[in-house]
Amino acid sequence: MTEHDDLPVAARVRRLEERLIEAGLASDAEIDEFLSRLYAEADPVNGARMVARAWTDPEYRSRLLSDGNAAAAELGFGWMNYQLRVVANSTVLHNVIVCTLCSCYPVSLLGPSPGWYKSFAYRSRTVREPRAVLAEFGVSLDADVSVSVWDSTSEARYMVLPVRPAGTESLGLDELARLVTLNGLIGTALV
């Protein structure tokens, strides 16, 4: 336990910022500019565009699953300072993302994380009873579908590649991207 553990998160973050400034590693203006740029560009549409491309381009899908950072950079999302791992749902496997220690999350591709993602209940129960948590989100899976829970860290963040919905073969990239929800990218919804 550190001397700041009893402080609210915002106060601890400010203490960290002050240490960076005191060490000459960043200025208040640089931190503000970075955060403004990040949140201006951070949107679930970014992840949805990657999914739509993967649904229509098998070679991109392969690259997305083998090197998420490189595939993200192809679409102009190259500013990530973590390893992006993309896991694909299928008819026999459903993936769900959690961060058991805190709330590590690919903000640049999914936008700000939902409040429930940061909650202790979601973080702990998803690991112990993923099917029950998914059912609370309205996701009912057949018994023969396996569930994999992926734990994000500060070094590696995850995103789900949902199964492409049937009957969407005639849709273009923009139309496909509109089908993809934030919860679908986390694995707490089907697309």
66 within 8 A of 60, measured Cβ to Cβ = no
Q: Is the pLDDT of residue 1 over 60?
A: no
* 43-186 CATH pick, 3.40.190.10, 3.90.330.10, 3.40.50.170, 3.40.30.10: 3.90.330.10
**Distance from C-alpha of 160 to C-alpha of 65, rounded to nearest angstrom:** 10
Half-sphere exposure at residue 161, Cβ-oriented, CA atoms within 13 angstroms: 24
Average pLDDT, the chain: 90
Active-site residue identified among 27, 36, 62, 102? 102
Stretch(es) of the chain classified as CATH 3.90.330.10: 43-186
- Indicate the pLDDT class of residue 75, thresholds 50, 70 and 90: very high
Buried b (16+ CB within 10 A) or exposed e, 14-31: eeeeeeeeeeeeeeeeee
Asked about 99 being catalytic, the answer comes back as: yes
pTM of the full structure: 0.82
pLDDT at residue 12 is higher than 80: no
* 124 a catalytic residue: no
The pLDDT, as a whole number, for residue 17 is: 79
Known active-site residue 104:
yes
Instruction: Give residue 136's identity as a one-letter amino acid code.
Output: E
pLDDT band for position 46 (cuts 50, 70, 90)? very high
Residue 143's pLDDT is what? 95
Q: Is 152 a catalytic residue?
A: no
pLDDT digits (tens, 9 = 90+) for 109-155: 998 888 899 899 999 999 999 999 999 999 999 999 999 999 999 89
Which residue's entry shows tokens 């490189």?
70
Q: Residue 132: what are its φ and ψ, rounded to 5°?
A: -65, -45
Name, in order, each residue with C-beta under 8 angstroms of 92's C-beta and a sequence gap of 6 or more: 144, 145, 146
